[in-house]
Amino acid sequence: MKKGQIIEGIVQRVDFPNKGIVESAEGICMVKNALPGQRVQCAINKVRKGKAEGRLLQVLEPSRLECGSPCPHFGSCGGCTYLSLPYEEQLRIKEAQVKKLLDSVLAGQASNWKFEGIKASPVCFGYRNKMEFSFGDEVKDGPLALGMHKRGSFYDIVSVTDCQIIDEDYRRILRCVKAYFAGLQEQGTAVSFYHRLRHVGYLRHLLVRKAAKTGEILIALVTTSQMPAGMERREAVTAVEGRLTVTDAKMARKQTAAAEEERQLAEAELLNGFRKQLLSLELAGKIVGILHVQNDAVADVVQSDETTILYGQDYFYEELLGLRFKVSVFSFFQTNSLGAEVLYETAREYIADLIGEKAAQTVFDLYSGTGTIAQLMAPVAKKVIGVEIVEEAVAAARNNAALNGLHNCEFIAGDVLKVIDGIEEKPDLIILDPPRDGIHPKALDKIIRYGVEHILYISCKPTSLARDLEVFLARGYKVEKAVAVDQFPWTANVETCVLLTHKKPTSYIEVTMDYDKIVSDQKPRHTTYKMITEYVKEKYNLVVKSTTIADMKRSFGLEVGDYNVKEEKTNYRKEKITPEKRQAVEDALRYFGVIE
């Protein structure tokens, strides 16, 4: 096969996350968005080291497994992958994907491990408790669209007014908002969507969150600050102001202020109409908050430069496994509330099997988000310490722990890599729930150094999990059991829960040693300046000179050998030894056994 070649073949299987393996007369090719059993036509994009990757052109024959999609947007919307398959078949695909990845890593593990298959989501339609819709158009210069990105496109938007992974309340809200802004455009109001290439426009996203248990709904309209009313006039004044007289410049500034006031009034009127339209809807749930979020970032992400409450509050409540959680508009929370209960109940069962009726002493919940797992562990632990990099999520975790009357939970804001060195307590059990990219290698090393007997790893991306498991196995851990949990029906994503145990020796050999003789014969450990500087850099992110290390060694009455002669012959410029550097070097000297 070569680049540009068109081939036809049968999809033999789909590897995680969405890699259809096509077998053709020309060879094997990988394509996205294909289903097992389909006969497809694809164009070869890349051939490297004997492996070919292609782009799906068309499905020539459907798979015998397909039964038709209940969603009219399937195929054009990029949200779902397996919607034309029976749910049971989708579960089999995801189970096989996870098992294949784990087998590839655990093939060399001496002891047996148990794969417990996959657990289904309690509901497979209308399960999402959060959606981020984008404003745009389906074709260039077409009518306003509000929905999801078109499959394979960064710019085109599909109005998913009949989406099946959200419930009817979402669909009614989506139709209402789209109709409102489309109507304004028809009336001549210049309310445009944000163009991702030109970075101009007003409407960006519509964020909707709804609690499965309480039915509370939170809605946020995300826009830029580029409200069109009065913009042309203000920009023209600003452009010529530098060439005006003092008197004319004052007049120009007044005109600019008037234009800004006009803009604010127009925006307030627009947002007031937006609020009224939403509150007039008949919904099964209850709207508890409507927000306006301004975001002028160039990147196509949902974030806030400024948030204004148009109605109600900026949070809602959800319940999981008997606990109540306060969730803000940007807080991380599992997108499938009922599926999250299955995942967390599984994690709780794994831990209960380990500790039985006795309580664990100290539990680390790393990458803790809003503290859901930490709070579920609180009743069976003396203390739970959660670490999360998103400060808003940490604040929510603290509030939720107080809300649930849990006083043995501590939550720390910061990067796991940098924070855990400063935690005085040592864990008896570690729970990991990292983001999709897995754990930073240096953070993983620090986690393993604790040497805890048991680690529970919850992963939302099996390929990242497989990569991290290789490190765990190389450092003395083994996998006891694992299970997949379908948190995201019809999509290519799947969660995995893995229990790791530190390997213990199966037998012991009694050895008698003459300690005095060993000590007298032992040569002193040679520690280089490079070893010390690298240690200080990695652990404390500080750069220290060799002269500093030499001075510190002298302060402890240690010899510095030939380095002292070199220092005397060379005009070294000594650095100031700060308390932080002094402490770091002293720690390194103790670590390498130079001092006690």
229-237 long-range contacts, CB within 8 A, separation 24+ = 229/190, 229/262, 229/263, 229/266, 229/267, 230/259, 230/260, 230/262, 230/263, 230/266, 231/259, 231/263, 233/259, 234/259, 234/260, 234/263
* Separation between Cα atoms, residue 410 and residue 21, nearest integer Å: 47
Q: Which two tokens stand for residue 542?
A: 């500080």
Cα–Cα distance between 314 and 330 in angstroms, integer?
A: 10
Answer whether 156's CB lies under 8 Å from 149's CB. Answer: yes
Is 460 a catalytic site residue?
yes
For residue 21, the surrounding DSSP H or E stretch is: strand 19-24
**Which residues contact residue 10 at a Cβ distance below 8 angstroms, ignoring those fewer than 6 apart?**
22, 23, 24, 37, 38, 39, 40
**Angle at Cα 156 formed by Cα 152 and Cα 158, nearest 5°?**
95
Q: Which residues pair with 107 in a beta bridge?
A: none
Sequence-separated (6 or more) residues with CB below 8 Å from residue 359: 380, 381, 382
Residue bearing tokens 């929905």: 147
Say what the alpha-carbon torsion angle 372, 374, 379, 383 is, to the nearest 10 degrees: -160
For residue 388, how many other CB atoms are within 10 A of its CB?
28
Q: Which of 71, 77, 80, 460 is catalytic?
A: 460
The closest alpha carbon to 14, from 116, 102, 94, belongs to: 94
Side chain identity at residue 192, one-letter code: S
What is the H or E stretch that residue 470 is in? helix 462-474
Q: Are strands 51-61 and 27-32 parallel, antiparallel or unpaired?
A: parallel
Record the tokens describing residue 327, joined without a space: 């969730």
Q: How far apart are the first and last CA of the chain?
A: 64
The torsion angle over the Cα atoms of residues 17, 22, 23 and 29, rounded to 10 degrees, is -90
> Do 44 and 54 meet the contact criterion of CB atoms below 8 Å apart?
yes
Catalytic positions, written as ranges: 460
